[in-house]
Structure 1
């Protein structure tokens, strides 16, 4: 698929998966994960990806160079970095730090001249410290919409009782029994297929003895089953189905990024959301990308990236969206979106996905049937205490998770309908710091 070769890139919204990490075990019903660390390999993968993205979007000689993007030092007004700081501990946030090291590498140009004439270069050869917004699970539902979502958990449990699942379990049980000698006592069931594959994948990368003894077809077979399990878990046939909850909570931030990019008075041109693999499955399903490309109906590799390019056609008119995806170490490929055969009008993309979006924590609490966790309890208490027509209490307001109120979401429709503008205040960010990593792939796990 191809679009206008002469179109101009106005800006890009990136969804980046974290790098290689230690083994993680997560509950097969609630998907609660244990805390693990990024490995040196994971750091290297993200730095390499950052360097590739820098050449693609910040290099003036690149055909994908972002118009008006600063190609020198980091410019805070043009960039928004967001990282999931949820149930994977520091894995995702630290991946974002490594990504920035590739995007804005050390340079002696990062310096200051003092009053006495002395020039001081930043530490570590001019290391640029990039602000990264930390998205905390306790008070923000945007990047982990599935976590603590009771209706999603119920749907997962119901999926395990379906004839389709039972048939698959029966068909594969003989193979799963063959895996037992390689799982160090961990269960080999279809319900636990993600953990089965993850254990095998990480050990195949980091454990030489394991890699030598594992039969050559077992890892690929385990991955196929994990892909089937995860895709059927994190998708629904209907856009607003609960299986798509991981993608539905990401949609509002995508819309915000797009509307800011097309706003000529807003300098934002480059937005990055670092996250786990779950939202990819929902979004690939919601956009029709997986339906047209069966290879994408599964877990994406470490350091994968979706690049949603907002482009201005050379003939003028409405901005369009180009969907590019790089699966781990693979090359970037352009995919059809929403059944299109080229770049899709930006308004079409937004008008299709916006109705299914979960825009606020209040809305998420209702969709997920949760009245206690992630701010739902505070919101319920504030609602009960509020008088008729009284505005929500400061406590309740503090737990609006996706960074968008329902009013802002509705404004986005008008913005795109008239190709107008929308400027949102930026949330506070946490500054990145260097960390020493320890642990253990293009593999694919949480």
Structure 2
């Protein structure tokens, strides 16, 4: 018996050592890339691909419930389509023009190669506005080209309609089956976060300061609640009317819209951010992170032709990503709603000799009236190595609907599920350091489970020897598992336009 317990203690000791090694490896691997990243010296970098997160263009008024963020109806406008088309033309000049310093090496620019580009469009709140904006952007990115033609067997030459219009496949992502692009609705934990923000001292103080504005704006919002909770809807209505209603534009004092925008920025930043990295307030950016990481994996892999991905969405992921990636620490001006047709671009670049690793450069363009500005993530002041970004971003990533459902139900993944996620991630990225970390984690889990299993077996056997029979509680055993959150949901719908 003493020998048995001695073996048990030995197993326990090994498991603790394994856990220590796990912690040590994780800390070393997360810190070592920073020491290696002398990206300040990067001069000659080759752009391998780009991921573009774009906000839709102008639209009519869009109401959002301040408590749940369920949206109302709205429609796109000709102005919005022009804005998105202009953004597409700018992206073309930046990434598809061989003379540009940001030209994506080897990507075809005259005629679209559908293997090289992927487009995902949020198809939830704001209805068709985001889809329309994506189509307008693609028209600017790949304008009509008379080379888009075929020759029939009889020698007849057929040019595509509209002088060679180029058709690009678009994936529409509905929140009913994929939460990656709209994760903040129907989420109880996020609604709890909203209520906590409304009850905070910061919110109450701001509301108190804003009372003079709320009194003066009543005549310009026509019965809409003049409260800080309704700040987004007040600003969006005023901004839409100022753009499309000439009579309203002549009557509205200029300072009122500026103040409304400031309050809306405060409101939306408070809702779609969190004091903690990986917090529920950043859920809009955390689900977007999975799409980003998955796309970077494809672009970085030489055997995959993907070089450009467009993600057309609303404003919420911008705010969350800027907080989750710690961009706002150096750029507090980004604690705000991005303008229509804004773009956040992640460039995958390969360094020149002697450091030929892959790096990421982040650029932001706030609407059509400004140029691209380079921003930095996680406190860095240069391009960040791809491996370092993956390690840091993975901690906040929400990778699938099942994980989203658990987070939204205010529960967390078990230790086993978290460690299995590490192994799965390592297998996908096939990096030695990640595989090592995941294997150490899995080994530790295996040893611990083995120890507990042996202890339980000994205890059970001892109890059987004393009692002579096993004890069973009355009633049926019930496995408490939410099967709806564990279902494998269908892929996104695909439209060809």
Distance 1:406 1:131, change over 3 A: farther
* Correspondence for 2:129: 91
Distance 1:427 1:63, change over 3 A: farther
- TM-aligned CA deviation for residue 96 of structure 1: 0.6
The answer to whether structure 1 residue 331 and structure 2 residue 371 are counterparts is yes
* Correspondence for 1:10: 48
CA distance in 2, matches of 1:407, 1:74: 37
* Correspondence for 1:357: 397
* Correspondence for 1:279: 317
Aligned match of 2:226 in 166, 169, 188?
188
Larger displacement relative to structure 2 (211-220 or 259-268): 211-220
Distance 1:406 1:44, change over 3 A: farther
* Correspondence for 2:258: 220
Asked if 2 retains the 8 angstrom alpha-carbon contact of 1:301 and 1:327, the reply is yes
* Correspondence for 1:320: 359
* Correspondence for 2:495: 431
- TM-aligned CA deviation for residue 350 of structure 1: 1.4
Asked if 1 retains the 8 angstrom alpha-carbon contact of 2:175 and 2:183, the reply is no
Map 1:173-252 to 2 at 5 A. 173-252=211-290
Asked if 2 retains the 8 angstrom alpha-carbon contact of 1:259 and 1:416, the reply is no
* Correspondence for 2:87: 49
Deviations 1:165-220 (A, max 9, x none): 11111111121111110002111110010001101111111111211211121111
CA distance in 1, matches of 2:240, 2:424: 42
Q: Secondary structure at the match of 2:395?
A: helix
CA distance in 2, matches of 1:172, 1:57: 44
TM-score under structure 1 normalisation?
0.85
- TM-aligned CA deviation for residue 3 of structure 1: 7.1
- TM-aligned CA deviation for residue 116 of structure 1: 0.4
* Correspondence for 2:108: 70
Q: Secondary structure at the match of 2:206?
A: helix
Asked if 1 retains the 8 angstrom alpha-carbon contact of 2:55 and 2:315, the reply is yes
- TM-aligned CA deviation for residue 415 of structure 1: 3.9
- TM-aligned CA deviation for residue 291 of structure 1: 1.8
CA distance in 2, matches of 1:98, 1:219: 28
Deviations 1:128-174 (A, max 9, x none): 11100110110000011111111000110121111111111111112
C-alpha RMSD of matched pairs (Å) = 2.0
* Correspondence for 2:414: none
* Correspondence for 1:138: 176
- TM-aligned CA deviation for residue 407 of structure 1: 6.5
CA distance in 1, matches of 2:162, 2:135: 15
- TM-aligned CA deviation for residue 362 of structure 1: 0.9
Deviations 1:236-274 (A, max 9, x none): 111111000011111111001111111011111001100
* Correspondence for 1:375: none
Q: Please, which runs of 5 or more residues in structure 1 have no aligned partner?
A: 372-404, 420-425, 434-446
Q: Secondary structure at the match of 2:301?
A: coil
Q: Secondary structure at the match of 2:378?
A: coil
Asked if 1 retains the 8 angstrom alpha-carbon contact of 2:278 and 2:324, the reply is no
CA distance in 2, matches of 1:4, 1:284: 24
CA distance in 1, matches of 2:393, 2:90: 29
CA distance in 2, matches of 1:224, 1:156: 19
Specify which structure has the higher proportion of helix: 2
Asked if 1 retains the 8 angstrom alpha-carbon contact of 2:178 and 2:492, the reply is no
Q: Please, which runs of 5 or more residues in structure 2 have no aligned partner?
A: 1-38, 412-420, 436-489
* Bigger Cα Rg: 2
Q: Secondary structure at the match of 2:182?
A: coil
Distance 1:255 1:412, change over 3 A: farther
The answer to whether structure 1 residue 102 and structure 2 residue 140 are counterparts is yes
* Correspondence for 2:487: none
Distance 1:3 1:183, change over 3 A: farther
Asked if 2 retains the 8 angstrom alpha-carbon contact of 1:320 and 1:343, the reply is yes
CA distance in 2, matches of 1:370, 1:91: 32
Deviations 1:346-400 (A, max 9, x none): 11111111111111111111100189xxxxxxxxxxxxxxxxxxxxxxxxxxxxx
* Correspondence for 2:427: 411
TM-score under structure 2 normalisation?
0.76
Distance 1:409 1:33, change over 3 A: farther
CA distance in 2, matches of 1:149, 1:87: 15
CA distance in 1, matches of 2:390, 2:256: 41
- TM-aligned CA deviation for residue 230 of structure 1: 0.5
